[in-house]
Chain A
Amino acid sequence: MTEKLDAILKSGGEKIAAAKTVAELQDVKASLIGKQGALTEILKEVPKMDAAVRPEMGRAANQIKQQLTALLEARVEEIQLKASEISPDFDFTVPGIHPQNGAFGGLHPITQMCYDLNDTFRSMGFEIFSENDISSELYAFDNLNFPAEHPARESMDTYWLEGHDSGEGGKRLCLRPHLTGASVRFMQTHKPPYRFVYPGRVYRNEETDARHERAFFQYEALIVDREFPFSAGTILIKSILSKVFGRDVPVRMRVGFFPFVEPGFEIDMGCLVCEGKGCSVCKHVGWIEIMPGGSPHPNVLRAAGLDPAEYTGFYVNIGLDRLVMMRSGIDDVRLFHSGDLRFLEQFA
């Protein structure tokens, strides 16, 4: 008798463990403790047994029933936990449906770069300023200490407006050839100390090729304060480059001449292709010229209504096009104004 019970528990346990679905388990349950189940059959025998063994056998049989019931319940839970209503043939490699029904909108890569830098400079307490595209000789050159005969003032370099290309300073109008003129506009309309950036598009009358454009983007930052050693400018430069390239980049400032700064610098970054060892990208010098900078020339500060004996500062002016080209490996600057979606869709 005891052997029979043990056999039922053993084979029952195996069947329960082998069952794969709840339905299979129902069948197993019926075969064990259902009306015609193996254990039920034994329990039916118990009343017919000898009175001396009856209580013990009854207890033993019920114990087995409880054990089987517990196993069944545990197995049901186990199966339900792993159950799926879905066919195992389901193809989880089909592509997802993207937002906006797959229409991939996005910002122009130059705008992306500009916003990256805006966020960086905002975090350092810089305001963002913009100036009109059409400016005057007064702001584009006179205020910036360009000599009267500077070649940039000529029509072979700057786009002058027809009918407004001859008058004096403020009446001689052009598409701005650089952003720096905007710095004086900002300073004239705000109170020092200043820290602001002014991104925008500038225009030069030149022949275009893969590296030259008539319309391109600059990003200029200016700090003006009572005390500002020029070497603090390095912080601005490093901030820009580490944001753009996602890591610290070696920077050097060397002598450079621009009418609106004194001293003026050419700012180089360590070549990221060869890590400064020298390669064809950096013409084997390990450095790449990346932007001009320097302290505002006293005449610029005067034009802005400041006393140069009291105030000084630091400019950096970076070409956004070039930076985006370096960040993304673009080899033709003209693509930026092409409006070609095959190009623009590559930027997220």
Chain B
Amino acid sequence: MKLSLNWIKEYVDIPAEYELSKIAYDLTMATVEVEGWEDIEKNFDKIIVGEVLGLDKHPNADKLTLCQVNIGGGEVKEIVCGGSNLRVGMKVAVSAPGAMVRWHGEGDLIEIKKSKVRGVESFGMICASSEIGLFDLFPYTEEATICDLSAFDSPAGTNVAVALGINDVILEIDNKSLTNRPDLWGHYGIARELSAFYGLPLKEIAPCEISAPEMEITLEDAARSPRYIGVKIEGLAVKPSPFEIQTRLWRVGLRPINAIVDITNYVMLATGQPTHAFDSDKIAGHITVRRAKDGEKLLLLDDKELTLTPEDLVIADDKGSVGLAGVMGGKRDSVLPETNKIILEIANFEPIGIRRTASRYDARTDAATRYEKGIDPQRVDIALAVGMQLFAQIYPENKVTGYRDNFPQKLERKEVIILLDALASRLGKRLPNAEMQRTLELLGFSVEFAQTEKGEIMKALAPTWRSTGDISIPDDIMEELARMHGYENFEAAPIVTSFTNAINQPMVSLDRNIREFLAFRCGMREVFTYPWVKDEFINAILGGSNGLHSLSAPPAPDEKFLRPSLLPNICKAVAGNVRYFNEFSIFESAQVFLSGEFVSDYDKREALPVQRRNIAGAIVGGAEDVTALFRRAKGVLEALPRQVHIENYSFERIEKPFYADETVWLNIVFGGKVIGNLALLSKKAALACGIKNNAVMLFELDIDALQPFTSRDNKFTHLPAFPLNEYDLSLLFDSSTKWAEIYDAITAKKGDLFRGVSFVDEYRGKQIPEGKKSVTFRLLLGSHEKTLNSSEIENFANSVTKRLSKQLGAETRAQ
């Protein structure tokens, strides 16, 4: 919203020494956010009034004229001009070198420079109104029309903004900061805030008395239309409004139209109260404010035809609807050039209905924007006063021939009672009663103090314009006092604490421990992906979207499903990165949404879907060595429980995940339940995700199912008294023999010397018979009594070999 500082100053006399930057700062701190400001006089810097003294033909161009122009200060300059309406004695707007203008009223601002036009030097230029942003005030139809300032009696050399009396400062207010303050949508409301902040009196707008025959106006839905004033005014004519009125509207961004329409806009910008003028000749019978009929048609001022619903409120006459109440007038009764009598509507409408109607038809007009904030019905009085005063000024001969104030139920002023001790505690200091009283009274409150059993109280009676929901509880009054006292005038109080327990949140720590383990120990990179998933990735990874939760207005039609697994979007991220990297690994920790019973741990009235926190990752490599990739991924999951201090889980094969390769997959099992998976992305799924040349190991784990230890569980064992010995064995096994079988056979009979066995590698290929593989493993041997000699070590190894050949058909490799 744009605000004119001069207009505000009409209502509150702000001392000249208060600089603009201070006013803007104070408004921002205490009332509304001032996003910026514009000094109109500065925009017209070097754009000055010139007086045409003489006109000569340009020697080289038919359509150009050499103008002798008095630019003030005793200087006369020659300016080349193509204007068609130039005449001697005319006052024009001259853009001297350095001025910023818009060439032919289009494009960006351009700086005027001294230049030659067709061989003749020209001092700047004589402007059309569009070139200096004044088209709305000086409209023209013929091209090459020069802005004629002859009607203004400023001497040559005067800044054009000063000459026109538009040397004002315009504040740009962030509308979002006004949503809770319906009283601030006009200059008077902002003036009231400044009056309270600076302790200056606010000029009163006296209500006006109208005596005229009563008009018939029916309010069918009093709840939706709490007040309706209709004033029938005759003896009017459509003409431009006085220049001062026009420029006021223009300064705050509205186009002047004609005096009648301008008055209605002026009233709204002054008071925040929308008004509307109907051509009363077009009104058949009397005005009724009623709900629209289902399917009723209404042609609006902007030529849009609406098909209404009974939820909409309309202004109607005996023939049908003539306006969409509080939103926009209709075409049928709009003010036209021949209009000479009107019905002026100043009405109050219920905000929610207006907001719904405005959004139903996407008609966010200035009126609707104000009504939907909740305007107090009493404001109609000052709007009427401002409006009638303007009609009297512009149309001294006007006659009020009908009047009706339909106001069944007055809005009560809200009373709030505040305990002063509690107020002081919240504010962190005690404000003097006199200061509180003065501040609140300037804001329109009535204030009384009283002693009660609980201590001294303040009774604050809010003005009607703050009683539509804005002020209702003591906290609201506290805010009024604090912001008017100045938030910067409260010293930051220290935060006082009392210690009872150290914070111990194992599940919070677990999530962080897992992320840090994957990032810092496993070299994986954390990614974030969206909770919604593209259908193609859901289908590729999960095989379909049955039973998934979905959004009713999703980001895209094929992104409606919410993820039950992190893997589809992990695979999408993999597909995005294989273009740039061949080997990498990523992980994500986030929530997934599962089917199941809807419950809430918090409120019986609530029912939420099953939501779990998962951790998932992808380890991506070339397709050549799947075993190595598998071992890396499995190693991450094997190491994780010990590194993040949780109960260990096991790997089993119970149910193959949809996306998994037929062979390479494992379920992660804890407490008898599958809580995750580790698998190679199948070729088919990989291709469906757009991953062509890489092998991808995926894992996913339900963090909420994990059991963190209450503390670290490291257990000390004594260091060996005698050195341990390592002994590597390579044996041939059937290709299908699993390491787990070999391990079980070795550890089935440990004996005194066995200290451990570890897998070294396996090998198939050259020198190994078809259908066989060579497995190398390392025995760790030792004794409590002595250092082992080589025959003792070899004896043990031979017994292992013998057992493996007996149980698993192992053979020693031919030397």
Contacts and interface: CB of A to CB of B under 8 A. Distances in A.
Interface in A68-119: 99-101, 103-108, 110-111, 115, 118
Nearest to B351: A149
Interface residues of A, number: 92
B30 A255 contact: yes
Given A100-B522, A138-B605, A341-B580, A263 B483 contact: yes
Given A257-B179, A266-B33, A132 B525 contact: no
B479 A263 contact: yes
A295 B526 contact: no
Contact of A105 (B476, B519, B528, B530): B519
A340 B576 contact: yes
A253 interface: yes
A73 B629 CA distance: 59
B416 to A, nearest CB: 12
A309 B417 CA distance: 13
Given A339-B572, A339-B577, A263 B526 contact: no
A272 interface: no
Given A107-B519, A108-B528, A215-B530, A262 B492 contact: no
Nearest to A203: B531
Contact of A223 (B426, B495, B585, B593): B495
A283 B560 contact: no
Contacts of B478: 262-263
Given A230-B428, A231-B428, A295 B475 contact: yes
B551 A232 contact: no
Interface in B491-505: 491-497, 499, 503, 505
A133 B591 CA distance: 7
A309 B591 contact: no
A255 B487 contact: yes
B603 interface: yes
A236 B505 CA distance: 22
B355 interface: yes
A252 to B, nearest CB: 7
B488 A252 contact: yes
A297 interface: yes
A43 B8 CA distance: 118
A126 B497 CA distance: 11
Contacts of A236: 495
Given A103-B585, A175-B531, A283-B35, A262 B479 contact: yes
Nearest to A227: B425
Contact of B526 (A108, A201, A232): A108
Contacts of A215: 528, 530-531
B306 interface: no
B352 A173 contact: no
Interface string B726-739: 00000000000000
B551 A135 contact: no
A23 interface: no
A255 B528 CA distance: 35
A243 B443 CA distance: 40
Interface in A248-280: 252-257, 262-266
B367 to A, nearest CB: 18
Nearest to A310: B422
Interface in B451-479: 469, 473, 475-476, 478-479
Interface in B584-639: 584-586, 590-591, 593, 600-603, 605-609, 611
A340 B573 CA distance: 7
Contacts of A125: 497, 499, 503
B398 to A, nearest CB: 40
A230 B482 contact: yes
Interface stretch (A6-14, A49-57, A158-166): A158-166
Given A110-B528, A231-B493, A262-B476, A105 B523 contact: yes
A199 B611 CA distance: 17
A336 interface: yes
A169 interface: yes
Contact of B426 (A105, A130, A312): A312
A1 interface: no
A122 interface: yes
Contacts of B351: 149
B426 A339 contact: no
A29 interface: no
Contact of A188 (B524, B577, B602): B602
Contacts of A111: 515, 526
Nearest to B553: A155
B551 A161 contact: yes
Contact of A235 (B492, B551, B609): B492
Interface string B396-439: 00000000000000000000000000100111100000000000
Nearest to B548: A162
Contact of A160 (B30, B491, B552): B552
B608 A134 contact: yes
B495 A232 contact: yes
Nearest to B555: A214
A97 to B, nearest CB: 13
A27 interface: no
Nearest to A127: B503
A341 B525 CA distance: 8
Contacts of B356: 149
B203 interface: no
A110 B529 CA distance: 13
B648 interface: no
Interface in A316-348: 336-342, 344-345
A107 to B, nearest CB: 5
B475 A263 contact: yes
B614 to A, nearest CB: 12
A105 B355 CA distance: 51
B803 interface: no
Contact of A341 (B518, B554, B577): B577
B85 interface: no
Nearest to B32: A255
Interface in B505-538: 505, 508, 512, 515-516, 518-531
B177 A256 contact: yes
B584 A298 contact: no
Contacts of A175: 531, 551, 562
Interface in B6-33: 28-33
A337 B487 contact: no
A136 interface: yes
Contact of B515 (A104, A107, A126, A161): A107
Contacts of A149: 351-352, 355-356
B581 interface: yes
A155 to B, nearest CB: 5
A310 B433 CA distance: 23
B573 A339 contact: yes
A15 interface: no
A132 to B, nearest CB: 4
Interface string B545-578: 0000111111100001010000001001100110
B60 interface: no
A161 B551 CA distance: 4
B352 A100 contact: no
A298 B526 contact: no
A234 B609 CA distance: 38
12 contacts: A127-B503, A134-B593, A159-B554, A160-B552, A160-B553, A161-B550, A165-B552, A201-B590, A231-B491, A231-B492, A298-B473, A341-B580
Those 9 A-B pairs whose CB atoms lie nearest each other, nearest first: A229-B428, A339-B573, A170-B606, A103-B523, A100-B523, A263-B479, A234-B492, A170-B605, A105-B523
Given A105-B525, A231-B493, A263-B479, 7 more contacts: A105-B520, A126-B503, A156-B553, A175-B531, A203-B531, A255-B29, A262-B476
Interface of B: 28-33, 35-36, 177, 179-181, 351-352, 355-356, 422, 425-428, 469, 473, 475-476, 478-479, 482-483, 487-488, 490-497, 499, 503, 505, 508, 512, 515-516, 518-531, 549-555, 560, 562, 569, 572-573, 576-577, 580-581, 583-586, 590-591, 593, 600-603, 605-609, 611
